[in-house]
Each structure stands twice: as structure tokens, then as C-alpha cells.
């Protein structure tokens, strides 16, 4: 099977859709492995980090210095790469993308405010950045410079003074553009380590690695589980699962465009999910044929075939209107509305990480340079979660300042409530001021 | 020992402070117990929920109906209580508090916005409420009507259409004011269940209990661990630990006021933490004497004594200025600045859940009725977390709509980046539009 075909009006559509969306795997083993690594790093610090990194990334290491790139070294590398013909154009594109991402995120900052109530009490909300944030960047085949921009820029816009990046370097190999992107974002320090050991080291600190306040960025299932386990000690962004796209098309966008949009998700990862909703069955047939055709020469055909066969679907819906129900059930990470006047349908869409409106807006633009973040809630978590953004690197603090008169008024409300809750000291503490 | 005494200028102050703040207990046993309950509720649904609730809360139950109070039944209860002389004044105070809390939270809503870039691409941020939220309210001795207000009102302000409340009823007993508060906040359905089984049922749903999108509210360590385990399936607010207060006083506030402020935290829970920072040692001596004195007649002396002995501290600091360093190390949940012109010190304070400014602003006002939320980041998590608020019940969605011309521009940036990341389909998907 190239890709499964479903019909919205079939009797068991709901059951089939549910099965399609259930990509959960057995967690128990991962949980145990990770909790052992986290405990070991807490206990043995640097030495544990070095041992795991040597073992998992097949490197020879003597000290944390061997996995450290500081700010100056990073800037030096950027200058080197920029003068190399091989990287020049990419670095220019990265800088253009960074500027657009910054433009978008600047609008996201939480706002401070205050007001005075009718009794003279001043109430407010204060916004401060986190002190130290760390971004986890996957290594190996999924080491993307664009992810460095997407994770760092919101932190920078929020005003985080110290930014750490961690990226594994299997066999010591690093993507130069990942380092270039880190330099463009003025990352303060880079550690070339990954996995649960990196998350544990950044959450608890070691002799040589300073603990941070929040860890963001996607990783494999060990990284995700480690983030879950250290949550509370530090903040985390979200538990990211495999990426997914939901394309809704009326059948009038060029077949080739829709096919590349679907495949741009499938090519990420064998666990990625690409789904098309379309009311036009002959268009769906053409899409299926075109996928077959382009896969003959595609450089990533193997990954794509597995992703499509295991998790992909072409779904015939009754109409664009009825597609909206399916969208809300899926709560997709990426939603592409490839038809005219997509804005008319927006009020009916309740859940999506990012919405790409119209035929000229492929997800790929969002991945790189449109401006919004590409770290988005996956696996239906758009029901309750948001794209990574500036608010993830800021915190609110409540401010309360009572006037002498205002305190008397508040005491008159607090006192009966404290009494009924049986909290004597609360009552007395309020009463003192009345 | 009534309460430990520390000096900021002693040699081992940092070590002592660290030990004081480390309230961690062994988690492993809790983790296993909770993961078994969660798995059981997922597997056996209603039946498992009923069995655990019977066992842990010592109740006799036949069906989920026995633990359900729907919207109409809840409103009926409110009318009953309001006409009872016993509850009248408290319910009036609850309504006054609810109004003030709503006033404050209305200012917190995230904002939607959009703009058009110089290439005609439209970029924006959309804000939508969650569909279904649940609030966990502790039962027994810590069942507080004020917590119902603090958890429900932000959800209501955010526009969440369906609100579930869950509260354990040990031996079938419920606090009438907890139900009254739920009715005031127009909670849609109440389940009288608690513990890990309640969290699991709300996260995954059962035959009779509909799953929600987010679970908020404090609970014991089993509830906290259950929330950690279901995170990802649903959203959660935070992993709340025991409550704490940090009072900074110049020694000129009446001793009695400061003592009640400290005890208002200690009386919550044996694991609660009350700390005073003061540059005036004779004031500290008076505080200690006054605590001894009031404890002789205090109704909650036993809890307070244990909390103070295990976790409390009176700390002599060199000056108010140098107290600021200690504040940032502690990152307190509640921070009381009991001295003149506290606003002058605000720029030096980086981390706190809520700040109470001036001698007339005790924490107790914030617990009940000042306006800001009383669900606050505990145990130093104010380094990265915020008070519960309207943003916790909203999500951002990114919007991108390219013009024909704008798409060409974005393709010129995306193409080299997709190529260098080796993502062919991303490149083709961008290229189609150029």
C-alpha cells in the first residue's frame, strides 16, 4: 500500500480516523532508561555526561571543555563559514529568515499593566524574562539550522540574558550551519552533547555546566521523556511528537503542488504524518498517481514510503464544510487550506498549530522564513498548546499594593472567607490591617 | 527548636540556604503507584474510578452518577445555601471576591493581531479558548472555596465553553462553600472524585466521563505526579509543591502583623515554608517571642510548629539591598515587602510569583480577594513559571497567507535553506510557488 484511502461518509470513519491518529508507542522502557540516566548525571555530574556522550555519540572525550564552544569561538566560526563560497548563500538566507522571524515574534511579547481600584489599591502584572534558557537541537540527519533560529529568536526577543544551546555531535560531526545559526542568534555557549544526559545536565547542573531555568526544542523519545522527568526542576516547552500536516484542498490547486506539500512532511521522518482532505475523488486519484511518479526519482523515497504507508491518508470528505469537523478532531500541527477564500472557514476551525491560507502558502515557508515559529504542538496537542513563542521565555508576576483605606475594604472580604476556611492566621493577618 | 535562625554574613550561609530550600522527597514510590492507577483507569474506565474512589475515600458507590453533580443540581444547591443564615455572609464575600478576581483577569487575555509585510504576505496570531478544562480541588482539610474561584475564573474569562470540576469527598463529605463557589463560577459539571484516578479519568475519559483538554489546580503528591504523567495527553498548569512565603521587613512594621503573615503560610500545611529576611536582629528576636506567645492559643499550633521547625527560618540580612540577592535565590511564591517605598527595590527583584508591596498588603488578601490569582509557582519555579491566568486557558495559532508576489520572495529564502538541509520535497514545494 502506498497510502491508505478513507471516506468520511463510511460507517466506520470515526474508528478509522482514531486508529490513524494513534501513534503512541510503548513508553515504559524509555521511562526507566531515562530515569537511570537522569539520576546518574545528578549524582556523578561531568563524569556521567562525558561517559554517556562517549558511548552514545562514539567520541573520545577528556573533559567538558571538549564538548564546549563558547561565544567567541562561535562567532569566529561564523566569520570563517561566511567567507567560504560553499556556505555564503545559505548564511545569507539564514540571516534573511532570522530577520523575518524576529519581526513576527516582536509582536508577541506579554504586556505589563496596572490599575488602581476604587479603594486606592494598586494591582498589576509585571513581565520579566527568564535568566537562562537552553535550546536542544537534534543532531545527525535531523540537525536543522532553521530550528536554531526558531528556538533562539523568541528567547532573544523576550530578553533572556543567557542562552545555552546543546546539540549532539555523533562521531564528533556537527552541521556547520547549525553553528552559524547559533552565532547569528548570539547564543552564549554551545555544548556538543545530546540525549537524556544533556537534558539532565542542563536541568540540574554539573561541576562545569551551569543549570538553566528552561529547556526548549524537539528531540527523540529519550529527550522528550527526559524533559518530562525534569519538568518542575526547570520549565520545558512541550513534549513534541512526530511532525504532521493536514492539507485541505478543493481539487483545484495543481496536483503537483499538493503532492510536494504532503511529501514535505513525510520526508522528515518515518513517523511523520501527511493527510489530505478533499471532496473530489478524481483529484485524490491524481494525487496518488503523482506521488507514485515523483517517488521514482525522489532522494528520500524510502523514508517517505514508510511514513505514507504507516501514517498517511487520502480522505474523501463530503464537502469543504464537513472537512472542518475532521480538522477539529485532528487538531493538526500544520493546516493548509488550499482553496479560495479560506478565511471564510476560519471561524469553524478551533484547533491548529499554524494555518496556511490559500494555494500560494505551502508549509515549507512556515518551516523556514515566513515569520511564525515552526516549533508547533503535535499529535493533537493543538487542542491546548501553542506554537513556541516569546511568552515561553517570559513570566508574569502579580503585583499588589494596598492603600490604608483599601486594606480595610479587602479585610472585610478576606475575613469571613478565612474564618469559614478555618484559617486563623489568615484571618488575623487580614484583621491587623482593618 | 521553634524556628531556625540564619545570618546572611555567616560563612556557610549559601549551603544553609540551599539545604533550607531543598524540600524534595523520594519520588520513585509515588511514580509507580500513580502509573499503575493511570493504566488501570485507562484500561477499565468507570469501574476502576469507582473502585479507587470507594477505597481511598471510604464511600459506597454504584455508578458514576453517584459521583456526579450537574449544572442544574449545582445551581439548586447555591440557592439553598444562600437562603441559610449560616452561609449567607460567606457566599456574599465569595461573590465580592469573584468580581475582583474577574476584574483583574480580564486584563490578561492574549491578543490577536496581524500585519502585512512589504511583499504582501499577511501574518498573524489568532487566539482561541480551550474547548474543555477541568479544575482539581483538593478535598478534606484543604478544600478551599477560594481555590475554586481562582481556578475557574481565568477559564471563564478566556471563554472556555465547558468547565469540569473534580473534588474528592472523603466519607462522602463535601464543603458546601466549595460547591457554592463552583455554582457562582457556572461550573458545568462536578465529579466528587480525587487522586490520580480523577486525573486519569479526566485525561483519557471513561465510558461516562468525558475527557478534557487541560487539568489545572493543586493537589497532593499523587495528584501532582498524575498530572506529570498525563501531560501531553492533556495540558496541565504546573506541578505545585507546598506553599511558601518570604517576608522582607525593615523592622518597623508591627511585630504582630509580621508574625501573622508568617503564620498564615505555616498554618496551611506541615510542609509549608515561612521565611523572614530582616536586617534588625532585635526585631527578629521580638518576632520569635511573639510566635511563641501566639502559638499558645492558636487553633492550628500543631501544624504551624512542625512547619516552622522543619522549613521555617528567620534570617538576619546585612541590609534591605543585600536581601534582594536572597530573594532571587529563593524565587519565592509569595514575596511580601514590608517596608517603605518598596517600589524602589522592584528593579532588583527578578523572580517571584506574587509581590505584596508595603506594610498594608498581607498575603492573605492575595489568597482571597485582591484580584490576582493565588495559584502561584512554588519551590523556586517562579524562575520560569507564572501565576495561573487567562493565557493558561487560551492558545495561540499562527496564521500565514501569502500573496502571489510574496510567495516568490519567500521561496527565494526557503529554497537555499531546504536544499542545504537536504529536504527535497520542501524545496520543490517552495519552488512550485516561485
Cβ(B290)–Cβ(B244) below 8 Å: no
Cell of B347: 528593579
Going from the C-alpha of B186 to that of each of B71, B97, B128, B276, B339, the distances in angstroms are 7, 15, 20, 40, 40
pLDDT tens track for A354-405: 999 999 999 999 999 999 999 999 989 999 999 999 999 999 999 999 999 9
Cβ(A102)–Cβ(A374) below 8 Å: no
| Cβ–Cβ contact A142 with B under 8 A | no
Neighbour-count burial of A4, counting CB atoms closer than 10 A to its CB (0-12 exposed, 13-18 middle, 19+ buried): middle
A395 contacts on B by Cβ (under 8 Å):
351, 377, 382-386
Report CB contact under 8 Å: B128, A398. Answer: no
Q: Is the dihedral of CA A155, A157, A162, A167 positive or negative?
A: positive
End-to-end Cα distance, chain B: 76
Neighbour-count burial of A107, counting CB atoms closer than 10 A to its CB (0-12 exposed, 13-18 middle, 19+ buried): middle
Q: What is the predicted pLDDT for the residue at A24?
A: 62
Going from the C-alpha of B383 to that of each of A234, A394, B137, B270, B343, the distances in angstroms are 8, 10, 25, 24, 20
Q: What is the predicted pLDDT for the residue at B20?
A: 83
Q: How many CB atoms sit inside 10 A of residue A11's CB?
A: 8
B145 contacts on A by Cβ (under 8 Å):
417, 420-421
| Cβ–Cβ contact B429 with A under 8 A | yes
A307, A330, A341, A362: best mutation site toward chain B, by most B Cβ within 10 Å?
Answer: A362
Going from the C-alpha of A125 to that of each of A23, A128, A177, B107, B371, the distances in angstroms are 40, 10, 40, 9, 11
- Residue A276 gets the label, from left (phi > 0), alpha (psi -120 to 50) or beta, of beta
Cell of B187: 461550573
| Cβ–Cβ contact A430 with B under 8 A | yes
Report CB contact under 8 Å: B97, A304. Answer: no
Cell of B342: 518598596
Q: What is the predicted pLDDT for the residue at B25?
A: 58
Cβ(A130)–Cβ(B383) below 8 Å: yes
Option in A264, A357, A376 nearest B401 (CB): A357
Residues of A labelled as active-site residues: 333-334
Cβ(A371)–Cβ(A104) below 8 Å: yes
In which element (H, E) is residue A148 found? helix A145-158
B221 contacts on A by Cβ (under 8 Å):
none
The answer on pLDDT for B208 being more than 70 is yes
Q: How many CB atoms sit inside 10 A of residue B19's CB?
A: 10
Cβ(A34)–Cβ(A229) below 8 Å: yes
Report CB contact under 8 Å: B425, A97. Answer: no
SS3 state at B251: coil
In which element (H, E) is residue B266 found? helix B255-266
Option in A177, A360, A428 nearest B420 (CB): A177
Q: Is the dihedral of CA A383, A384, A389, A390 positive or negative?
A: positive
Option in A100, A364, A400 nearest B366 (CB): A400
Strand A273-278 and strand A313-316: pairing? parallel
Residues of chain A with pLDDT under 70: 23-27, 141-142
Report the residue of chain B nearest A398, measured CA to CA: B354
Cell of A394: 517570559
Residues 25-54 of A with CB under 8 A from B: none
Q: What is the predicted pLDDT for the residue at B289?
A: 97
Q: Which residues contact A197 (CB under 8 A, 6 or more apart)?
A: A37, A41, A48, A49, A52, A53, A56
A342 contacts on B by Cβ (under 8 Å):
401
Report CB contact under 8 Å: A128, B365. Answer: no
Report CB contact under 8 Å: B398, A416. Answer: no
What DSSP character marks residue A172? G
The answer on pLDDT for B373 being more than 70 is yes
The answer on pLDDT for B26 being more than 60 is no
Cβ(B190)–Cβ(B166) below 8 Å: yes
The radius of gyration of chain B's CA atoms, rounded to the nearest angstrom, is 25
Q: What is the predicted pLDDT for the residue at B9?
A: 87
Cell of B196: 490520580
Residue corresponding to grid cell 546539540? A167
> H/E/C letters for each residue in A85-100?
HHHHHHHHHHHHHHHH
Q: How many CA atoms lie within 13 A of B54 on its CB side?
A: 12
In chain A, helix, strand, coil percent, each to 5?
Answer: 50, 15, 30
Cα separation, A276 vs A286, whole angstroms: 12
pLDDT tens track for A260-301: 999 999 998 888 999 999 999 999 999 999 999 999 999 899
- Phi and psi angles of residue A166, each rounded to the nearest 5 degrees, phi first: -130, 135
Mean per-residue pLDDT for B236-245? 84
A267 contacts on B by Cβ (under 8 Å):
423-426
Q: What is the predicted pLDDT for the residue at A139?
A: 85
Q: How many CB atoms sit inside 10 A of residue A224's CB?
A: 23
- Provide the β-strand partners of residue B216: B135
Report CB contact under 8 Å: A420, B145. Answer: yes
Report CB contact under 8 Å: B90, A416. Answer: yes
pTM of the model: 0.94
Strand B122-129 and strand B113-116: pairing? antiparallel
What DSSP character marks residue B231? B
Neighbour-count burial of B206, counting CB atoms closer than 10 A to its CB (0-12 exposed, 13-18 middle, 19+ buried): buried
Report the residue of chain B nearest A353, measured CA to CA: B397
Option in B235, B404, B429 nearest A260 (CB): B429
Please state, rounded to an integer, the average pLDDT across all residues of chain B.
94
Cα separation, B362 vs A407, whole angstroms: 9
Cα separation, B87 vs B220, whole angstroms: 28
Cell of B230: 498525563
Q: How confident is the model at residue B22 (pLDDT cuts 50, 70, 90)?
A: confident
Cα separation, B279 vs A213, whole angstroms: 30
Cα separation, A167 vs A353, whole angstroms: 25
* CA nearest to A421, candidates B370, B3, B143: B143
In which element (H, E) is residue B216 found? strand B214-216
| Cβ–Cβ contact A237 with B under 8 A | no
B89 contacts on A by Cβ (under 8 Å):
416
Report the residue of chain B nearest A263, measured CA to CA: B425
Cell of A348: 469553524
Cβ(B403)–Cβ(B425) below 8 Å: no
The answer on pLDDT for B372 being more than 60 is yes
Report the residue of chain A nearest B375, measured CA to CA: A398
Cβ(A417)–Cβ(A184) below 8 Å: no
B210 contacts on A by Cβ (under 8 Å):
none
For residue B346, give how far its alpha carbon lies from the nearest alpha carbon of chain A (Å): 10
Option in A113, A238, A268 nearest B107 (CB): A113
Cβ(A369)–Cβ(B434) below 8 Å: no
Q: How confident is the model at residue B71 (pLDDT cuts 50, 70, 90)?
A: very high
- Order the strands of the A354-357 sheet from edge to edge: A4-7, A313-316, A273-278, A244-249, A334-338, A354-357, B394-401, B122-129, B113-116
Strand B113-116 and strand B273-278: pairing? unpaired
End-to-end Cα distance, chain A: 76
For residue B60, give how far its alpha carbon lies from the nearest alpha carbon of chain A (Å): 27
Q: What is the predicted pLDDT for the residue at B236?
A: 94
| Cβ–Cβ contact A416 with B under 8 A | yes
Quickly list H helices, B159-238.
176-184, 195-204, 221-230
Q: How many helices (H) and strands (E) does chain A have?
A: 16, 15
pLDDT tens track for B288-297: 999 999 999 9
Strand A244-249 and strand A273-278: pairing? parallel
Amino acid at each position: 500500500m502506498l497510502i491508505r484511502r478513507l471516506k468520511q461518509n463510511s460507517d466506520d470513519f470515526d474508528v478509522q480516523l482514531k486508529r490513524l491518529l494513534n501513534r503512541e508507542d510503548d513508553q515504559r522502557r524509555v521511562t526507566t532508561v531515562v530515569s537511570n540516566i537522569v539520576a546518574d548525571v545528578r549524582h556523578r555530574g561531568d563524569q556521567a555526561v562525558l561517559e554517556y556522550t562517549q558511548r552514545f555519540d562514539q567520541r573520545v572525550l577528556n573533559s567538558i571543555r571538549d564538548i564546549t564552544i563558547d561565544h567567541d569561538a562561535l562567532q569566529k566560526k561564523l566569520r570563517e563559514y561566511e567567507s567560504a563560497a560553499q556556505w555564503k548563500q545559505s548564511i545569507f538566507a539564514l540571516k534573511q529568515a532570522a530577520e523575518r522571524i524576529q519581526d513576527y515574534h516582536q509582536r508577541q511579547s506579554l504586556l505589563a499593566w496596572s490599575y488602581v481600584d476604587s479603594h486606592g489599591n494598586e494591582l498589576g502584572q509585571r513581565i520579566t524574562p527568564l535568566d537562562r534558557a537552553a535550546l536542544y537541537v537534534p543532531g545527525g540527519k535531523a540537525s536543522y539550522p532553521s530550528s536554531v533560529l526558531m528556538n533562539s529568536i523568541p528567547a532573544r526577543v523576550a530578553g533572556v540574558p543567557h542562552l545555552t544551546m546543546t546539540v549532539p555531535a555523533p562521531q564528533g560531526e556537527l552541521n556547520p550551519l547549525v553553528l552559524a545559526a547559533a552565532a547569528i542568534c548570539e547564543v552564549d555557549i554551545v555544548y556538543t552533547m545530546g540525549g537524556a544526559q544533556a537534558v539532565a545536565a542542563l536541568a540540574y547542573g554539573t561541576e562545569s555546566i551551569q543549570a538553566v531555568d528552561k529547556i526548549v526544542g524537539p528531540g527523540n523519545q529519550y529527550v522528550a521523556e527526559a524533559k518530562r522527568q525534569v519538568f518542575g526542576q526547570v520549565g520545558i516547552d512541550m513534549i513534541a511528537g512526530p511532525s504532521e500536516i493536514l492539507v485541505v484542498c478543493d481539487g483545484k490547486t495543481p496536483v503537483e503542488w499538493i503532492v510536494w506539500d504532503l511529501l514535505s512532511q513525510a520526508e522528515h521522518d518515518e513517523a511523520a504524518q501527511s493527510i489530505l482532505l478533499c471532496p473530489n475523488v478524481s483529484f485524490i486519484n491524481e494525487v496518488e498517481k503523482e506521488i507514485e511518479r515523483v517517488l521514482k526519482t525522489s532522494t528520500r523515497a524510502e523514508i517517505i514510503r514508510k511514513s505514507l504507508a504507516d501514517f498517511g491518508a487520502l480522505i474523501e470528505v463530503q464537502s469543504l464544510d464537513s472537512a472542518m469537523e475532521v480538522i477539529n478532531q485532528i487538531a493538526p500541527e500544520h493546516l493548509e487550506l488550499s482553496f479560495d477564500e479560506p478565511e471564510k472557514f476560519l471561524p469553524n476551525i478551533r484547533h491548529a498549530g499554524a494555518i496556511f491560507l490559500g494555494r500560494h502558502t505551502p508549509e515549507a515557508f512556515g518551516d523556514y522564513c515566513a515569520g511564525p515559529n515552526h516549533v508547533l504542538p503535535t499529535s493533537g496537542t493543538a487542542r491546548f498548546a501553542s506554537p513556541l513563542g516569546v511568552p515561553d521565555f517570559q513570566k508574569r508576576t502579580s503585583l499588589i499594593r494596598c492603600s490604608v483605606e483599601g486594606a480595610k475594604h479587602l479585610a472585610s472580604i478576606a475575613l469571613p472567607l478565612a474564618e469559614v476556611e478555618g484559617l486563623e492566621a489568615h484571618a488575623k493577618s487580614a484583621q491587623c490591617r482593618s
